[in-house]
Structure formats: C-alpha cells, structure tokens
Amino acid sequence: MWVFLHRKRFGKNNVILSDIRKPADNVFYSGPFIYADILDYKNLREIVVNNRITWLFHYSALLSAVGEANVPLARAVNITGLHNVLDIAAEHNLRLFVPSTIGAFGPTSPRNPTPDLCIQRPRTIYGVSKVHAELMGEYYHYRYGLDFRCLRYPGIISADSQPGGGTTDYAVQIFHDAMKTGKFQCYLKPDTRLPMMYIDDCLKATLEVMEAPAEALSMRTYNISAMSFVPEELVQEVQKHVPELQVTYKVDEVRQAIADSWPMNFDDRNARRDWGWKHDYDLPELVTTMFSFLGSDSRIAQIN
C-alpha cells in the first residue's frame, strides 16, 4: 500500500492517511490517521492548515461499475470532492496528485495504442469525472500556478486488497478464487485486452512523478503502462501455478461494454522520456509475486 511506501521514504509521522472509515489495524497503527470527508470543505481546510500539509494525494473516487450503480454519489464524490481539493491545494500552494485512469478514454479514442493526447469521450460517470479532473487540474496549473500532477493508471493488481468494483478487478479476483476454491468465473470475454500493472510499479510511478523536477514535466497528465493481456492469457499463466484451476466465462454486459470502450494498450513514451518511467513487472513476474503473497504453496500442496 502506498502509505507504507511513503512513510518509509518520508518518515511515518510525516505522512497522514485519511478516510471516512477506519482502516485495518496494521494501517491504522502505522502512523497518523485522520477522519476526513472529501465533501466537507471546511474540515479539509482545517486538516491542511493544522498539519502543515505540503503534498496532497487525492484518491477518493467511486470506480467504474460502482459508479454506474450510483451516479449521484459518484458525481458528488468524484467531481464535487475534486473541486474541494483543487481549491484548497491552490489556496495553500500544495503539490497535488490526482490519479486518472484508462476509463478516461472512450469508444472513439484510439485503442491500440492510446496516446497521451487524443479524443476522450468516456461513457461512464467514472470516466467523465476523471477527464474533468485532468482538465480542471491543468486549468488550475495554468490559471493559478497549482503544481498539479496526474497519472492515468491502467488496471492495478494487488494482493493487499479485495476487488473493489472496477472493470479490471477480474485480474485480482482470479488469484483469490484460485486459492480458495480452485474455480473462477470471469465476467469479461476471454479475448478482452486491457493494460494492467502490478501495484509496486504503480506506487513507484506515483512517487517518481511527484518527485520529478517541475521543469522536466512537459505535461500535467501522463499515461503509464507495464503490460497488456487478455483474460485467457492470465488464466494460462495462473494455471502454471494452479493447474487444476477451472475457469468459466459469464459475460457481464455492463462491464464488457465498459472494457470494450477502453484502451487495449497505453502509449507511455512521454513518461519514459520526461521523468524516466520504467516498469519492473511483466505478466510472469506479476503472477509469481501474487501467489507468493497469497500463500500459493499451501494451496498447491492441498491440491496435490
């Protein structure tokens, strides 16, 4: 998780985590934690002023599938919450990071590869809110001098957290199901290609772009990528570790439509040129690492 990486780098008392719910004990007791509601502007300002905040990482958002199920809440959290953060960051001269996503592109965007600058017409409230965030952050940078920095994440795969309602979460769920039941049902078609990234690469990229000198950045929002695969390719790699894994496909039309409107590959050459982005994990390393964290040895031994 990013909070551990940042606390290791900057000191545990110098990184404050906030949320509307208490995190797991290992996170809660690892350093400062403050209750914060992204929609409570006054409280956010108090937190920034009272704790002498200089960098702000804004991760509050409803993801793609969850957002479609509750558009009013997604609009409030993803857009009104962003406005609160932008105003506070500009007022207090903060360096602000806001993540974007493959969902910021749409069916009319070039998909293979997708460049940093192209047509963006997403068809989810999540995607629309992220395009809004990119443009508003860039506007605040040029209008008010805000040091806004943004990365478009691909699908992020992590052993630390359960799937959270995203369209790419099948690539996390397969590992948990392989461990627990040996059976996995995929909600996307087996040939649905999407860009993906292991969490360690995601954290590394975020820290690198935040530490990059401002003069090295030729833009405020960058694509970053590591690998691109289809469910069938992931299944084949997982079955090298759990050969008895049984896989079926039951397509979720909502998520499939979302995936079909997203990039198949990211063009991230600008990030690699401007601030030296370079990923460490390809698909084989990703799968091996995931099983290592989830304790695959015990599962494989049980099967055997």
Catalytic pick from 126, 140, 187, 281? Answer: 126
For the question of residue 41 being annotated catalytic, the response is no
- The gap between the terminal CA atoms of the chain, to the nearest Å, is 33
- Residue whose entry in the numeric block shows the structure tokens 């015990």: 298
Provide the token pair at 234. 């992931």
Give dist(CA 246, CA 7) in Å, integer. 40
Distance CA 186, CA 249 (A): 5
CA angle 28, 33, 35 (to 5 degrees): 115
Q: Which one, of 186, 192, 162, 165, lies nearest residue 174 by Cα?
A: 186
State which H helix or E strand residue 180 sits in: helix 170-180
> What residues act catalytically?
126
